[in-house]
Amino acid sequence: MASAPRKRPAAEPRAGQKLSPRGELKRTQILDAAAEVLAVRGFAGTMLSEIAERAGTQAGSLYYHFASREDLIEEVLRRGVTLTMAHVRAALTELAPETSARDRLAAAIREHVRFQLDVSAYARASARSTGQVPAEMRARINREFRRYGVFLDELIMEAMADGAIDPGVDRSALRMLLIGAANWTTEWFRPDGTSNVDEIADLLVRLMLSGVAKPKPGRRLPKKSKVD
Amino acid sequence: MASAPRKRPAAEPRAGQKLSPRGELKRTQILDAAAEVLAVRGFAGTMLSEIAERAGTQAGSLYYHFASREDLIEEVLRRGVTLTMAHVRAALTELAPETSARDRLAAAIREHVRFQLDVSAYARASARSTGQVPAEMRARINREFRRYGVFLDELIMEAMADGAIDPGVDRSALRMLLIGAANWTTEWFRPDGTSNVDEIADLLVRLMLSGVAKPKPGRRLPKKSKVD
DNA sequence: AATTTATCCTAATCAGGATTAGGCTTCAAT
DNA sequence: ATTGAAGCCTAATCCTGATTAGGATAAATT
């Protein structure tokens, strides 16, 4: 009986450096493939067979790297949030240190949208699929979300303290509306030339900060994005 | 062989008045139940068994009223859009005829959010589930969406013509960001006392029209909602 | 009352996709 | 050149949930 105890518990690569000793490569390919499928099909429509195909392997083989479909998906979604936060954070550190709270918030919004639309299938995946996920997984992922929420909340608070945002508004609602508008872009954005990422990002920034009321002649509007 | 040709093609009640001759009632109960399940579970998680349970019937029995799971769901989602548009439209007709374009748009936004959050599970269902639906169904539902989009677009155009909105902004992107923020509320809104519908609605209106910049002393902000 | 028709139920059947079993290949180290 | 773990494949198996078959039951009609 009992053949070899094959199949590791599908643990993530330790925090350490033991990155791709061989098959970690495929593991990554699988994650990437899953992110793309999730971004397009949503949690429901995502089939292991399609992920496997894109990763150049077989549905059954996925189980060597992940304990279950849910595990795989969870990791993708979690990464989506983590990566987004990391990206935005990194972008902010590159700003001149004297950058105003208002401009920092603006940059954050822009980078969030950009990252999602232009760069990362993981980000798109979690924007689109997180809502459809079973309760327990949802709860676990929410931890990451909350972390990102706190991060944004701080930016908003600083902008308030700085006089850029009316301190009277409900920070939480504001943040959620913002995130909503941003995440929803994945539903309608056309990667072909029809839509323009920067335009969308800038518009969202403008909505948050000055609104789209017809500009009073004297008042400067936030201009074209230029972060790096 | 061939027993009776039972089972109607699950047609909708004709345009006429033949409304609930008996079982149209249950049909409605089923739709209502489906709307609630969809609003919470999303397209993927929605099981006929749960719908049936809520409607006080059996999964198999649903097929007397609908040709398939997809048909049922499609009708719910379609209704979500239709009803929302109808509600918003109705609210606008009740405004004083001299109401400004700006205020009309504001009212529309408020009523959209309100209807979705406070009133209609159908609206919530289509806000949450439309994104996850198979391509063909999607295409059919999109027709309704486009109709609503045009409707909103007109409001925005009028507000532009009226000088309330900067004519320079991309109407389409603006509308999508708006709809996104609104629809996404279904992901985070807490029906318990934690969240406040009116506050959210007003905040979104404000975002669209004046932004959340700290108010210049002289400038009036849109005030508490009061449509009817 | 008898017959028809509309509604609905129960217990299968079916289908499709996740999961698992067990074995085959590398390849690095001995 | 062997050997053993790592990495992967194929072909079942399993499960779940949609769908269907074949009646009940109830209301309406004659």
Alpha carbon A14 to its chain's center: 23
Residues of B in contact with A170 (CB under 8 A): 199, 203
Q: How confident is the model at residue B16 (pLDDT cuts 50, 70, 90)?
A: very low
Q: Residue B137: helix, strand or coil by DSSP?
A: helix
Residue A213 has pLDDT above 80, yes or no: no
* Domain assignment present for B19: no
Burial B193-211 (b: 16+ CB within 10 A, else e): eebebeebbbbbbbbbbbb
Number of domains in chain A: 1
Q: Which of residues 32-91 of A touch B (CB under 8 A)?
A: 42-45
Residue B76 has pLDDT above 90, yes or no: yes
Q: Residue B7: helix, strand or coil by DSSP?
A: coil
The amino acid at B108? A
Per the structure, the complete domain to which residue B98 belongs is given by 69-209
Q: Can you give the pLDDT at residue A216? A: 59
CATH of the domain at B95: 1.10.357.10
**What would the two tokens of residue B120 be?**
């209609």
Residue A215's closest chain B neighbor by CA? Answer: B166
Q: Is B112 within 8 Å of B225 (Cβ atoms)?
A: no
Longest dimension (CA), chain A: 83
**What would the two tokens of residue B169 be?**
């902004």
**What is the distance in angstroms measured between the alpha-carbon CA of A199 and the sugar C1' of C16?**
43
What average pLDDT does the segment B148-165 reach?
Answer: 94
Q: Is A184 within 8 Å of B184 (Cβ atoms)?
A: yes
Residues of B in contact with A161 (CB under 8 A): none
Cβ-defined contact of B132 to A45 (cutoff 8 Å): yes
> What is the spatial distance between Cα B192 and Cα B111, in angstroms, rounded to a whole number?
20
* Domain assignment present for B18: no
* Domain assignment present for A198: yes
Listed in sequence order, the residues at least 6 apart from B168 whose beta carbon sits closer than 8 Å to its beta carbon are none
A136 and B CB contact within 8 Å: no
Give chain B's mean pLDDT: 86
* Domain assignment present for B84: yes
**What would the two tokens of residue A150 be?**
């706190």
Query: E strands of chain B, at which residues?
Result: none
- With CA atoms as reference, report the closest residue to B83 among B121, B37, B42, B43: B121
Residue B132's closest chain A neighbor by CA? Answer: A42
What average pLDDT does the segment B79-98 reach?
Answer: 97
**What is the distance in angstroms measured between the alpha-carbon CA of A82 and the sugar C1' of C8?**
51
Q: Is B165 within 8 Å of A213 (Cβ atoms)?
A: yes
* Domain assignment present for B185: yes
Cβ-based contacts under 8 A for chains A and B? 143
Burial class (CB in 10 A: 0-12, 13-18, 19+), A185: buried
* Domain assignment present for B9: no
Residues of A in contact with B188 (CB under 8 A): 176, 180
* Domain assignment present for A141: yes
Nearest DNA or RNA nucleotide to A69 (CA to C1'): C18
Q: Residue B213: helix, strand or coil by DSSP?
A: strand
Higher pLDDT, A163 or B87: B87
* pLDDT tens sequence across A135-193: 889 999 999 999 999 999 999 999 999 989 999 999 999 999 999 999 999 999 998 98
Residue B15 has pLDDT above 60, yes or no: no
Alpha-carbon torsion A28, A34, A37, A39, what sign?
negative
Q: Which of residues 25-64 of B touch strand D (CB under 7 A)?
A: 46-49, 59-60, 63
* pLDDT tens sequence across A19-78: 446 668 889 999 999 999 999 999 988 999 999 999 999 999 999 999 999 999 999 999
Cβ-defined contact of B170 to A199 (cutoff 8 Å): yes
DSSP letters, B109-144, are HHHHHHIIIII-HHHHHHHHHGGGS-HHHHHHHHHH
* Domain assignment present for B17: no
